[in-house]
């Protein structure tokens, strides 16, 4: 079945994925007609799953009913603290059962939840709190330790609440456990309703997710209830489409167990994964910190069906020498976003795990999913990010943003749809630069094929220009990844006196494998134009440094080539 046939069948009037066209900030936009109207509705509806497990974290197991009771109690406490519609509530902690409770408690009463990057230093957390003007802060012990000396200097912050803190409390800080108990206690909380919600509308503000901030200060992307609820339908549509594409009727959804190893403060985890988990009644298992052996133990013990996050995770599972010691047969899908993957990875997930690979394209400014790519479509087009979901539009524009490029040509990717955020918090100039008439300028260099499948070729700022010739890093990285010894790599530009810059690579090899610089250079030279061959390759013992959403921090790698640049 073609994409068009599948879409026509699934979005027909009266069908689950029916669409309608409405005005969003003055722009006619297609939306999912059956999407939840807001997040309070979503968490209320999830109560129907009752005693089904929602979150698992080490020895903590929380049912949907217990989770809802904790949400209702915390929402009531927040209302009593004076938190109202539009107030910002910040959340800085690891993935634990408390995270979704705090998230839904805040957004259900109309507050704006601000997930802060748990990897940030005290100074960076201070920036996020000041920039957002957060009134209430929820932290775990590690984040409190980083922020403790700064709390008194934050002008908007009225109250700090900590979970999992051992020892005496710092002055002015309250324990979350004194408000709602510990996760294993939530089932015993009295049954109370969510506070009478303010009038919540789909376009009301719900979240401020900060961009990864690889250059300059992070910007807060202001998201709406509709942005997050759109992803629920988009994910369901993409899953059902895979069955139709292979000529099968989509089955009724069955509860699945997922291992979440990426942080919830990123839209891939929170929007693309957690929202669908709540809607579908799935179980999510949290890990304190990524470790491939612990991950395999969890997959075996909890019979995990779904995992992923970024390509590195899949590589580390595939390449681990002890993989054969664990029963990983429950895995049905390994999906990821945030970073491109090698075609070899796509094939190996299918052939070695018997699982279907999946990826997609999105960004903080699109609240995650704009395209979705999985199953046979992904196996057949392993370098694509898939087609856009039906409520999204994509176009490829020239560098000036004045002319739309024809199919197959590379330009800047623009995206439009109900998942696009309102703009940047308190940054009108940056908003005007990036958001235009419902479209967001992504900064990604991409192309679309005749069927509408998206191919990301590079970030505009990462493209290497050697003597006037464009070198897209993903093209060279894909060739390096295809070498049997390479499991992680990045192409960067290093200065050159006459050419401007030249390509260089940083490579991490698989355990027990060996390759030389000359061997890898010859490998690339045989497959690509000679000017694309890295002039230097540096080998590192660990996987490459990444930010929280899986993007390699290429600026951190340039120091490896300082000597060559100076020479």
- Tell me, what DSSP letter sits at residue 476? H
pLDDT of residue 566: 40
Within-domain flag for 41: no
pLDDT of residue 465: 81
- Based on the domain organization, do 139 and 12 belong to the same domain? no
* 204 three-state secondary structure: coil
- Based on the domain organization, do 300 and 438 belong to the same domain? yes
- Based on the domain organization, do 253 and 270 belong to the same domain? yes
User: Rounded to an integer, what distance in angstroms lies between the CA atom of residue 418 and that of residue 441?
Assistant: 15
Q: Identify the burial level of 132 via C-beta atoms within 10 angstroms of its C-beta, where 0-12 means exposed, 13-18 middle and 19 or more buried.
A: buried
DSSP string, 115-173: E--TT--HHHHHHHHHHHT-SEEEEEHHHHHHHGGGGGG-SS--EEEEES--SSPPTTE
* 270 three-state secondary structure: helix
- Render pLDDT for 65-85 as a digit per residue (tens, 0 to 9): 999 999 999 999 999 999 999
Q: What is the CATH number of the domain that holds 8?
A: 3.40.50.12780
- Render pLDDT for 522-541 as a digit per residue (tens, 0 to 9): 999 999 888 899 999 999 99
Within-domain flag for 45: no
Choose one of 164, 194, 221: the last residue of a domain.
221
Choose one of 410, 444, 459: the last residue of a domain.
459
pLDDT at 34 over 80: yes
Q: Which two tokens stand for residue 286?
A: 């949290």
User: Rounded to an integer, what distance in angstroms lies between the CA atom of residue 182 and that of residue 163?
Assistant: 9
Phi and psi angles of residue 444, each rounded to the nearest 5 degrees, phi first = -90, 140
Q: How many CB atoms lie within 10 A of CB 127?
A: 17
Distances (CA, A) of 226 to 41, 207, 266, 389: 12, 11, 17, 15
- Based on the domain organization, do 471 and 450 belong to the same domain? no
* 388 three-state secondary structure: strand
pLDDT at 338 over 70: no
pLDDT at 494 over 50: yes
Within-domain flag for 40: no
Q: What is the CATH number of the domain that holds 521?
A: 3.30.300.30
Choose one of 438, 459, 480: the last residue of a domain.
459
Q: List % helix, strand, coil for the chain (3-state, nearest 5).
A: 35, 25, 35
pLDDT at 245 over 70: yes
Within-domain flag for 47: no
- Based on the domain organization, do 443 and 467 belong to the same domain? no
Within-domain flag for 310: yes
| Radius of gyration (C-alpha) of the chain in whole angstroms | 23
Higher pLDDT, residue 553 or 186: 186
- Based on the domain organization, do 483 and 455 belong to the same domain? no
Q: Identify the burial level of 407 via C-beta atoms within 10 angstroms of its C-beta, where 0-12 means exposed, 13-18 middle and 19 or more buried.
A: exposed
- Based on the domain organization, do 439 and 533 belong to the same domain? no
Distances (CA, A) of 3 to 11, 451, 466, 545: 12, 8, 38, 37
Domain that holds residue 558: 463-566
Number of H helices, E strands in the chain: 19, 28
- Based on the domain organization, do 413 and 482 belong to the same domain? no
- Based on the domain organization, do 374 and 445 belong to the same domain? yes
- Based on the domain organization, do 362 and 504 belong to the same domain? no
Total domain count, the chain: 3
- Based on the domain organization, do 405 and 525 belong to the same domain? no
- Only one residue has tokens 């601000």, namely 114
- Based on the domain organization, do 104 and 216 belong to the same domain? yes
Average pLDDT in the 481-496 region?
91
Within-domain flag for 217: yes
pLDDT at 204 over 80: yes
pLDDT of residue 214: 46
Within-domain flag for 243: yes
- Tell me, what DSSP letter sits at residue 186? G
Q: What is the CATH number of the domain that holds 207?
A: 3.40.50.980
pLDDT above 70 as % of the chain: 97
- Tell me, what DSSP letter sits at residue 261? -
Q: What is the mean pLDDT of the chain?
A: 92
- Mean pLDDT check: name the lowest of 90-94, 100-104, 298-302, 500-504: 500-504
Contact criterion met (CB below 8 Å) for 467 and 497: no
- Tell me, what DSSP letter sits at residue 288? S
- Render pLDDT for 188-198 as a digit per residue (tens, 0 to 9): 999 999 998 67
User: Rounded to an integer, what distance in angstroms lies between the CA atom of residue 350 and that of residue 9?
Assistant: 28
Q: Which two tokens stand for residue 188?
A: 């015993």
Within-domain flag for 59: no
- Mean pLDDT check: name the lowest of 43-47, 306-310, 340-344, 348-352: 340-344
């Amino acid at each position: 079945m073609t994409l068009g046939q599948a879409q026509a069948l699934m979005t027909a009037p009266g069908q689950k994925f029916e669409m309608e066209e409405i005005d969003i900030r003055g722009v006619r936009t297609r939306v999912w007609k059956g999407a939840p109207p807001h997040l309070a509705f979503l968490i209320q509806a999830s109560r129907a799953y009752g005693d089904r497990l929602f979150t698992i974290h080490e020895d903590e197991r929380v049912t949907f009913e217990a989770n809802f009771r904790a949400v209702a109690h915390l929402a009531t406490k927040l209302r009593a603290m004076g938190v109202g519609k539009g107030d910002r509530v910040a959340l800085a902690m690891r993935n634990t059962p408390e995270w979704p409770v705090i998230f839904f408690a805040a957004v259900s009463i109309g507050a704006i939840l601000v997930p802060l990057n748990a990897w940030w230093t005290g100074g960076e957390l201070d920036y996020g709190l000041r920039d957002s003007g957060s009134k209430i802060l929820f932290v775990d012990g590690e984040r409190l330790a980083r922020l403790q000396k700064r709390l008194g200097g934050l002008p908007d912050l009225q109250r700090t609440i900590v979970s999992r803190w051992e020892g005496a409390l710092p002055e002015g800080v309250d324990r979350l456990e004194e408000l709602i108990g510990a996760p294993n206690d939530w089932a015993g909380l009295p049954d109370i309703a969510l506070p009478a919600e303010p009038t919540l509308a789909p376009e009301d503000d719900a979240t401020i997710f900060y961009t990864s901030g690889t250059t300059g200060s992070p910007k807060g992307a202001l998201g709406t209830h509709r942005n997050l609820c759109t992803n629920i339908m988009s994910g369901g549509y993409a899953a059902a489409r895979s069955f139709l594409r292979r000529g099968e009727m989509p089955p009724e959804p069955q509860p699945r167990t997922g291992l979440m190893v990426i942080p919830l403060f990123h839209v891939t985890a929170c929007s693309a994964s957690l929202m669908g988990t709540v809607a579908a009644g799935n179980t999510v298992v949290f890990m304190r910190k990524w470790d491939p052996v612990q991950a395999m133990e969890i997959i075996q013990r909890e019979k995990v069906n779904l995992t992923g996050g970024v390509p590195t995770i899949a590589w580390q599972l595939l390449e681990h020498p002890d993989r054969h010691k664990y029963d990983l047969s429950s895995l049905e899908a390994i999906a990821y976003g945030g970073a491109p993957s090698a075609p070899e990875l796509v094939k190996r997930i299918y052939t070695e795990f018997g699982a279907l690979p999946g990826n997609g394209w999105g960004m903080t400014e699109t609240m995650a999913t704009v395209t979705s790519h999985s199953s046979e479509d992904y196996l057949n087009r392993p370098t694509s990010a898939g087609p856009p979901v039906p409520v999204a539009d994509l176009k490829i524009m020239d560098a000036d943003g004045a002319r739309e490029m024809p199919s197959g040509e590379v330009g800047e990717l623009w995206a439009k749809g109900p998942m696009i955020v309102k703009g940047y918090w308190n940054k009108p100039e940056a908003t005007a630069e990036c958001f235009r008439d419902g479209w967001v300028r992504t900064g990604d260099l991409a192309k679309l094929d005749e069927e509408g499948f998206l191919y990301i070729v590079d970030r505009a700022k990462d493209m290497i220009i050697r003597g006037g010739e464009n070198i897209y890093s993903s093209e060279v990285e894909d060739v390096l990844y295809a070498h049997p010894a390479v499991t992680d790599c990045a192409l960067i530009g290093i200065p050159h006196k006459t050419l401007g810059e030249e390509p260089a690579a940083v490579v991490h090899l698989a355990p027990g494998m060996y390759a030389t610089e000359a061997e890898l250079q010859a490998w690339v030279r045989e497959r690509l134009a000679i000017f694309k061959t890295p002039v230097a390759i540096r080998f590192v013992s660990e996987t490459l440094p990444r930010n929280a959403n899986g993007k390699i921090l290429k600026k951190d790698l340039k120091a490896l080539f300082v000597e060559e640049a100076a020479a």
